[in-house]
Structure 1
Amino acid sequence: MQTSPQAIFFDVNETLLDLQPVKESVAAALGGSKELVPLWFTTLLQYSLVSTVGGRYADFGSIATAALQMVARQQGMEFSEAAAKAAVKPVRSLPPHPEVPAALERLNAAGFLLYTLTNSAADALEDQMTHSGLKGYFAGRLSVDGVQKFKPHRDVYTWAAEQVGADPKDCLLVAAHGWDVAGAGWAGMQTAFIARPGQVTYPLADAPDHTFPDLDRLADALTMR
């Protein structure tokens, strides 16, 4: 790490919460085709960026629903918006990865101010934090709803730093996605990549300040300063 961060921002989906339940639900909706789940998630991210670049914001859940309908149509399947919404609904009630609560507790005890910074809509974020039991660990819960753009747009990270009264260089972004770490680094934040299974960093971005296999190791690094 460069300096001890004034604020630590956490991505939520996949970084803090396990996406397996929604992956299973989406696969079931697509006729049991687990191999189509990455295509759905990639399509979701693609069209969140289309929304951002085009200046036509829609919340992440709506884009997730539309992306699922698109993937289904590509496979010759058709189902309603209501059916697609039902398939992605488990994203609101995901469990935390096993080490997450204890790691956040350790960071709180060490005096760090923790915040979420997620592409999830604000109402979905509240459901996620309540269901996962993580709400109490965070000094604030930020959603891109507040800036009407999606990560990794630079404006999201500068906006987040402004919300907590800090300079981006004094903030740490913790994420399990290479695109998120890249965006935060380009915006001037310190970065920590959580190497969840299957996740890699972007070769054309600066290397993260640190890479950890999980949040336990992040907590070790920060609390042993």
Structure 2
Amino acid sequence: MARPKVILFDVNETLLDLTPVKESVGKALGGRPELAPLWFTTLLQYSLVATVADHYLDFGEIGAACLRMVARNHGVGLSEKEAQEAVAPMRSLPPHPDVIPTLGRLRDADCRLFTLTNSSKAAVADQMKHAGLTEFFEALLSVEDVGKYKPHADVYRWAAGRAGADVSECLLVAAHGWDVAGAAWAGMKTAFVARPGQQLFPPGPAIDITVPSLAELPGELDRL
């Protein structure tokens, strides 16, 4: 595999620690933090429903709506305002400890770095500013400009074009099996960060790089 010209990073869970929003969601669900993964899975499901139906909705809006759905299924009543407040920490998540040192190493090696996130443009700007990551990225790319959610192939191809590169010259870095699978099927190189609880999709395409933490990524690129 040739060294990629562009590196695109997923944001939620890959760069940012979702613990604060999982805690707030668990509290909103009647003090049941074990339901937070179900909420996030439902959020991803309905983002894909919106994509397949060709009806784009804001990621935060879907997140609040899905929280109310999960709450109802478990006997918890949540108003729209309460649901919005519960998911609000998504905009102020901390970076994982391995993120800033790794992005610094990649920037010092003259890598071109971009985000590629399902968060809205306003949300990813807030996220990167709060986490102190804005300076590392050439641009903050959001699916909002495409009107489709990852892992739709159009998203990855659009991102490559936005970076002025062929899709085959880009590397997508993510902690989600569905994200790296989508990128690989679209023609990108891929790197899977095996955050706790995350797995690759067994029938999916071959992934180029798998690392236990982001800190190992620069070394893997140096060996290309």
Structure 1 contact 116–142 (Cα < 8 Å) conserved: yes
Counterpart of 1:117 in 2: which secondary structure?
Answer: strand
Alignment partner, residue 92 of structure 2: 93
Q: Residue type of the partner of 2:4?
A: P
Aligned to 1:35: 34
SS of equivalent residue, structure 1 residue 116: strand
DSSP 3-state at the match of 2:116: strand
Q: Is 2:196 the partner of 1:197?
A: yes
Q: Percent of pairs identical after alignment? A: 60
Which residue does the alignment assign to 1:112?
111
| SS of alignment partner, residue 174 of structure 1 | strand
Mapped contact 1:110–1:223 kept (Cα < 8 A): no
Letter in 1 for 2:79: S
Q: Quick one: distance in 2 between partners of 1:82 and 1:122?
A: 22
Within 5 A, what are the aligned runs for 1:179-198?
179-198=178-197
Task: Give structure 1 regions of 4+ aligned residues with deviation exceeding 4 angstroms.
Answer: none
What is the distance in 1 between the residues matched to 2:100 and 2:223? Answer: 19
Contact 2:209/2:220 (8 A) holds in 1: no
Does structure 2 retain, via aligned residues, the 8 Å contact 1:107–1:223?
Answer: no
Work out the CA distance in 2 between the residues paired with 1:160 and 1:94.
Answer: 24
TM-score (norm 2): 0.98
The CA deviation at 1:153 is: 0.3
Counterparts of 1:103 and 1:220, CA distance in 2: 10
Question: Deviation of residue 5 (structure 1)?
Answer: 0.6
Partner residue in 2 for 1:83? 82
The amino acid that maps onto 2:197 is G
What SS does the aligned partner of 2:60 have? helix
Instruction: Give the Cα–Cα distance (whole angstroms) in 1 for the partners of residues 187 and 223 of structure 2.
Output: 24
**What is the distance in 2 between the residues matched to 1:101 and 1:86?**
28
Aligned ranges for residues 1-20 of structure 1 at < 5 Å? 2-20=1-19
**CA apart distance, 1:224:** 5.1
Q: Judge which range, 102-111 or 71-80, deviates more.
A: 71-80
- The corresponding residue for 1:44 is 43
Counterpart CA distance in 2 for 1:63 and 1:139 is 28
What letter matches 2:50 in structure 1?
S
| Partner residue in 2 for 1:157 | 156
**SS in structure 1 of the partner of residue 125 of structure 2:** helix
Contact in 2 for aligned 1:29/1:87 (Cα 8 Å): yes
SS at match of 1:155: helix
Q: Cα RMSD (Å) of the superposition?
A: 0.8
Gap regions ≥5 residues in structure 1? none
1:26 partnered with 2:25: yes
TM-score by length of 1: 0.98
- 1:125, 1:150 → 2: CA distance? 14
Report SS of the residue matched to 2:158. Answer: helix
Matched, 1:217 2:209: no
Which SS does the other structure have where 1:148 is aligned? coil
Q: Check conservation: 2:173, 2:193, Cα contact below 8 A.
A: yes
Deviation at 1:214, TM superposition (A): 1.1
